[in-house]
Each structure stands twice: as C-alpha cells, then as structure tokens.
Amino acid sequence: MENLIIEETKYTPLIKMDTNGTIELVGKSYPENTFEFYVPMMEWVKEYFETSAADVTTVNMEITYFNSSSSKLFFDFFDLLEENNDKKIVINWIYDEENESALEAGEDFMEDFEDLTINLVEK
Amino acid sequence: MSNSSDNKLVDELESLKISFTKTADKIIKDINRQDKIMARSDKRQRQEYDELQKKLIEVQSLQEAQKELMDSFIKLIASAIDAKSKYTGGHCSRVPELSLMIAQAASDSTDEAFKEFEIKDDVQLRELSIAAWLHDCGKVTTPEYVVDKATKLETIYNRIHEIRTRFEVLYRDLKIEALEKMLAGEDETKVASWLDSEYKKLQDDFDFLANANIGGEFMNDADQKRVEDIANRTWERYFDSSKGLARHERERLTDDNSSFPVSEKLLSNKAQHIIPREDFDFEEYEKFGFKTPVPKDLYNLGEVYNLQISRGTLTQEERFKIQEHVIMSIKMLEELPFPDQLKNVPLFAGAHHETLIGTGYPRELKKEDMPLPARIMALADVFEALTAADRPYKEAKTLSASIKILSFMVKDKHLDEDIFKLFLSSGIYKEYAKLNLSPNQIDDVDISVYL
C-alpha cells in the first residue's frame, strides 16, 4: 500500500502516513467538514492495520489548535488504534508548554484509553 | 422442535442483549466523551477569545502609537517648512488651527449653506487636520531665494561680478588720477559745473533704480522706459567676465572676451541670464489637471527684465515657481498611500490657492469643484498671512484691516462668502485674534457692515 501525505493548510494539519509505521499529524485542525476531511486518513489506518502494519506503529500528534468536531474525530481515531492494540502502538501527544488546552486534551485521551500507550511530550 | 426453537430464541435474545449492552455502553461512553469534548471546547473557546481580546488591545495600542508617530511626522514637515523661511513664520501651524475652528463652526451651523457639511467623527476631523497641516508641504521644494525674494535683483549670486566691478572702478580711478595730473591748469569752474550735473544725473538714476529694486510701487510704462534708457548707457570693460565662473554659468556665458575694452551696457538682458526649463514633464502636468500656464524658461535673471517687474519683486518665472508649491503639495500627497478615510487629504490641501471663479491655481477650479474644507483653508490661509506678526518684511495688519481685505476678496469671488460670514458671525475671528494676534493689532470690527 502507498504512503499518504496531505499537505498542511491554514485550517488543516499536515498528515503523513508511512507504511514503515510512522504516522504524523502536525498543525491546526479546523476543517470545514471535519469527518469528510479525515476520511482518507481513517481509511488508510484501517487498511494499514488490516494489510501491512509494521511491528511498531508510532503516532506523533502535534495539534496546536482544534475545533470540537476534530476532538471527536481524534477520539474515533484513538478508538480505531485501540481496536488494533494487539500490535505495538506508541502514541506521542506533543504539546507546547504554554498550550494548556493541548495538554488537557492529551490527558483526556490518556484517561479514556487506558489500554493505549500515550506519552505526553512537552516541546 | 419447540424446545430447540425456544433455545434458539433464548440464544438470539441473549445475543441481542449483549449487543444492546455493548451499544448502550458505547452510547454512554460517547455521551460522556461528548460532554467532555463540549466542556473542553468551551474552555478553549474562552481562552481563544481572551487571547483575541489581548491581541486586539495590542493592535489598538500599536495603531494609536502609529497614529501619533504619523501626526508627529506631519508636524515635523510643517515645522521644517516654517523653519525654512523666516518669512512664513508659524504659518503651517496656525492655518490648521484656524481651519479647524471654522470647519467645526460650519459643522455645527444650521445655516442652509452648510447643511450638507457635518464632521461626523474623529476620523473626518483628522482628515481635515492632516490636509491643513500639509497644505504647504510642497514648499519644501521651493528655492528660498524665490520664497524670500525681497528685491527685484535678488538672486543666488556669484559675487565675482561685484568684485570685478570694483576692479573696474579702481582701474578708472588710476586712469583719472593720471589724467588729472596731466590736465592740471584747465578752467576749473566749467569742469566742476559739468561734473556736478553729471554726478547729479548719475545719482538720480541710481536712486530711481534702487527704489525700483524694492518693488514697493507699481511700475508704469514711463518708469519701465526709464529703466531701458538708463540701461543703454555704456561702460568699458577691461576684465575677463568668463573667469571665476562655475560650469553652468560659464556654459551660459555669451560675453565677448576676445579683446578689451568691451563696451557694456549699464544694465542688460543677456542670453546668459536665461536659465532654460529642462526635464519638465508636461504630460504628467496635464494628467494631474494642472492648468496654470508654464513659463518657457525656468528663470530669467535679466537685469532690465527684473527691474521692469511692474508689481512686486517676482518675475513670471519666479511667480510660477512659487505657485509650483501647491503643485508639489498635490503630487507629494497623492504619492502617499492614504487609507480610505483620509483619501481627500490631497484634494483639501491642494485647493487653497484656487478662487471660486477659475482664476486661481493650479487647477483653475470653480466653486462647485472645491469641497468646503478646501474653501475654508483658502480663507484661513489668507487671513493668517494678513495678520501674522512674525513676517520681517511687512507690518502685521490690524484685525479690522485684515477683515476688510478679506471682504474685498469675497467681493471678487476669490473667497467664499458663506464661510466669510460664518467666520465673522461665529466670533471665530475674535477668538483666533485673542490667541494669535498681538494686542495692538486687535481693534474693534463692525462686522454688521459685512453680514
């Protein structure tokens, strides 16, 4: 399967999905239609786990600002990761020390997904 | 049969129950998440709102600082112009003061003439103020010798010409001394009487020219003819007039320096007195809508030409150079990227030398083409100039005399009558006088004769 790259825009983050097991989301997330925007990513992740998951999958998320539907989408994304937790998955939630809400969001994910390995990484 | 179907039903129910429980769990989880998402989202929104507010305040204070900087810059330009010439004194700062007083009165007036004029906000006031502060900004480009030209013969002058003349005089003195020695013994009375009358004539001619040079009186045709007559007297030049000149002056020189003496007129208009107009962009001039005729030459320093100036001390070339300050003001101001709310600054500032009947400059506008603020500035400009006490070349006029002159200009349709009447009836003339005129200028004015 192919890698997926969606370039960063004013309202959407850079998305880099590599079959070598590195998944990256960097930037802001205010898409006009959040669920539609993330369809390619979610589809890719599903196919990745079904067909060609690497031994270790590392998810680096550095989302500075995001709207509430992005929040919801990230929960769905984490659900999807949790469903495939039989493989080794490491999630790095990267936040700026001054960005309190990014830290809180990370803490929420940790609370909700006890079975996932989520690291809070201060930049 | 029934037993097995019962079991099947139980199984189905059991599986439905599990599925239901799972779905219910998922729904509960989702609701919990949703609550969390909403709560977090609300918090984030509040933070973002706080941040926006903070940034807005920052931007506003930066804007305020920028406005202050711009205002100071404008005042700096105005004071540079005022400082450039002692002849204009505090003109650039007093015209805005007076203009704004009149504009405010026009805005407050219920009179029919001002019903369409209203100062709605600070921005509009600022537009007026900037225009008034910068109305003479083009004067930074006007040569001082023209702005301050106090006598007809005044110019930026290479004094080598004066020094050479003194040498000419010494040369003759030596010759005279020698002749006197040789001629000792002639009929002294006769010579003395002849010399006396020649001296008197010479003195008379010089006095006439010296007086004409000041330009205080109108010069009629007879006087102009006399300048020519005096000019035609000749003298012998023994010295080379091409020595000691800068390149430009030497290039213009047409004098004959091949052999001496050269017979020279006492006063002359020579080709070398003419400084040609170069690189003038007539196309641009027309594009800006300037209509004032442009003299062919940049300057004409001809001695006869200057002494024959009929009124004042300026040649038509110099008068145009002075008028060019408004042209420069307009061009300079139109170059500036004024924001929309200040877009009229060039228009307001650039029309203060227009009259109401197309006889002003530089666009020869008529009343209907001149916005009210421009007409206000035109009156403020004249009134300030008349009453200013800081001009070394003239006595400041009294309040009543100044208002009388304004009334003549109103009658000639050079100034706006409604504004003139408002200026009087509102009492602004008195208020301004108290602030800016010296007490001995402030006399009683019977404004009823003008209203």
pLDDT in tens, B280-325: 999 999 999 999 999 999 999 999 999 999 999 999 999 999 999 9
Preferred mutation among A34, A66, A69, A71 to probe B, highest tally of B CBs within 10 A: A71
pLDDT over threshold 70, residue B2: no
Least Cα separation, residue B38 to chain A (angstroms): 7
Residue B39: which pLDDT band, with cuts at 50, 70 and 90? confident
What local confidence, expressed as pLDDT, does residue B396 receive?
84
The percent of residues in chain B predicted with pLDDT above 90, rounded, is 70
A-facing residues of B in 46-85 (CB < 8 A) are 47-48
pLDDT over threshold 80, residue B86: no
What local confidence, expressed as pLDDT, does residue B393 receive?
63
Cα distances from B39 to residues A63, A101, B92, B393, in angstroms, run 18, 11, 61, 79
What local confidence, expressed as pLDDT, does residue B47 receive?
85
User: B25-35: per-residue pLDDT in tens?
Assistant: 888 888 888 88
User: A64-86: per-residue pLDDT in tens?
Assistant: 989 999 999 999 999 999 999 88
What local confidence, expressed as pLDDT, does residue A100 receive?
87
Residue B412: which pLDDT band, with cuts at 50, 70 and 90? very high
**Which residue of chain A comes nearest to B38, CA vs CA?**
A68
pLDDT over threshold 80, residue B391: no
Residue B392: which pLDDT band, with cuts at 50, 70 and 90? low
pLDDT over threshold 90, residue B6: no
- Name the residue among B37, B47, B48 with its Cβ closest to that of A71: B37
pLDDT over threshold 90, residue B229: yes
pLDDT over threshold 80, residue B221: yes
| Over residues B362-386, mean pLDDT | 95
pLDDT over threshold 60, residue B1: no
pLDDT over threshold 90, residue B399: yes
What local confidence, expressed as pLDDT, does residue B188 receive?
83
Residue A104: list chain B partners with CB under 8 A: 40, 43
**Which residue of chain B comes nearest to A65, CA vs CA?**
B44
Preferred mutation among A30, A65, A75 to probe B, highest tally of B CBs within 10 A: A75
- Name the residue among B41, B47, B48 with its Cβ closest to that of A71: B41
What local confidence, expressed as pLDDT, does residue B26 receive?
85
**Which residue of chain B comes nearest to A69, CA vs CA?**
B37
**Which residue of chain B comes nearest to A73, CA vs CA?**
B37
User: B318-345: per-residue pLDDT in tens?
Assistant: 999 999 999 999 999 999 999 999 999 9
Residue B40: list chain A partners with CB under 8 A: 68, 71, 101, 104-105, 108
pTM (2 d.p.): 0.74
Contact A67 B41 (CB under 8 A): yes
What local confidence, expressed as pLDDT, does residue B70 receive?
93
pLDDT over threshold 60, residue B276: yes
More confident residue, B20 or B163: B20
| Over residues B158-182, mean pLDDT | 85
What local confidence, expressed as pLDDT, does residue B30 receive?
85
Mean pLDDT for all residues in chain B: 91
pLDDT over threshold 90, residue A63: yes
Residue A71: list chain B partners with CB under 8 A: 37, 40-41
User: A104-117: per-residue pLDDT in tens?
Assistant: 999 999 998 999 99
Least Cα separation, residue B44 to chain A (angstroms): 6
> What is the SS3 string spanning chain B?
CHHHHHHHHHHHHHHHHHHHHHHHHHHHHHHHHHHHHHHHHHHHHHHHHHHHHHHHHHHHHHHHHHHHHHHHHHHHHHHHHHHHCCCCCCHHHHHHHHHHHHHHHHHHCCCHHHCCCCCCCHHHHHHHHHHHHCCCHHHHHCCHHHHCCCCCCCCCCCCHHHHHHHHHHHHHHHHHHHHHHHCCCCCHHHHHHHHHHHHHHHHHHHHHHHHHHHCCCCCCHHHHHHHHHHHCCEEEECCCCCCCCCHHHHHHCCCCCCCCCEEEECCCCCHHHEEECCCCCHHHHHHCCCCCCCCCEEEECCHHHHHCCCCCCCCHHHHHHHHHHHHHHHHHHHHCCCCHHHCCHHHHHCCCCCCCECCCCCCCCEHHHCCHHHHHHHHHHHHHHHHCCCCCCCCCCCHHHHHHHHHHHHHCCCCCHHHHHHHHHCCHHHHHHHHHCCHHHCCCCCHHHCC
Residue B177: which pLDDT band, with cuts at 50, 70 and 90? confident
Contact A67 B33 (CB under 8 A): no
